[in-house]
Chains A and B, each alone.
Chain A
């Protein structure tokens, strides 16, 4: 039969777990600028190099790939300015989200079920994982995917209109050739 008296060792361990958990929770609440303050600052050239390198780690739909020259020019820090390392990831995540939203919407419009389903899978499984420090953004992506699955493009279009239309240029080379 188990004793109902708590062991002091167990209590101490529980307290330790609580303190560590609380500490993790509090540090998780800290904002990006504060946590990023200790990270590397990038000038324009450094930013451009990191952006191009990082873009290779993303999967892009065949019909929407970002024009990296434009993307870098529009998002890189100006002369005398600095960008925190990691900020290029945000740009790429936004561009990647728009690319898949638009690819899905286009495929849906031309009744290309295979392409639409491929994009929908990315909307559901990849995009909600972007922005670990942006819970609103993750929630938005989940809702956009859920609505897209139901055939409602409203949030997907809202996102591209708010963040990408007229801002991110797409390298559409070879799209016509694909037919």
Chain B
């Protein structure tokens, strides 16, 4: 039965046209999936200086993958520090402080709407006149 069906397909005079139609359809579906699917993860090297009070960094980043997370891996040389995301257009809309600085990757927030422009903020846990330098990697448009 299956063999006969296969044979029928091969002898169909419209087989070539059908195949081309299928290939074109598959390509269109693929293109559509790419266009509407989640954007690729975005990564940036980040770093700066923090003191005891919150510093609001002035770099805006746009979320393009709806529902995605923002994650930070930061190293502050053993000095405990907190980081958070905030909506660049409204500082009162912000994520909870997350302990970072140990070099482990921490999720700063999740479920972001596409189009959201967010910024980073940070503060050292220790109140000191000296600023602490930190550096790290920021991922967004990610789902894990």
Contact = CB atoms under 8 A, between A and B. Distances in A.
B8 interface: no
Contacts of B93: 167
Interface string B69-97: 00000000000000000011111110000
Chain B interface residue number, banded:
35 or more
Nearest to B40: A136
Chain A interface residue number, banded:
35 or more
A178 interface: no
Given A158-B115, A161-B115, A163-B117, A32 B87 contact: no
Secondary structure of the B contact surface, majority rule: strand
Interface string A18-48: 0000000000011111101100010000000
Nearest to A163: B89
Contacts, number: 130
B143 interface: no
A140 B113 contact: no
Contacts of B37: none
B135 to A, nearest CB: 7
A30 B137 CA distance: 11
A164 B46 CA distance: 26
B114 A137 contact: no
A31 B138 contact: yes
Interface string B44-59: 1111110001111111
Given A36-B57, A136-B64, A94 B117 contact: yes
Interface of A: 29-34, 36-37, 41, 74-75, 77-78, 80-87, 89-91, 93-95, 131, 133-134, 136-137, 139-140, 155, 158-159, 161-164, 167-168
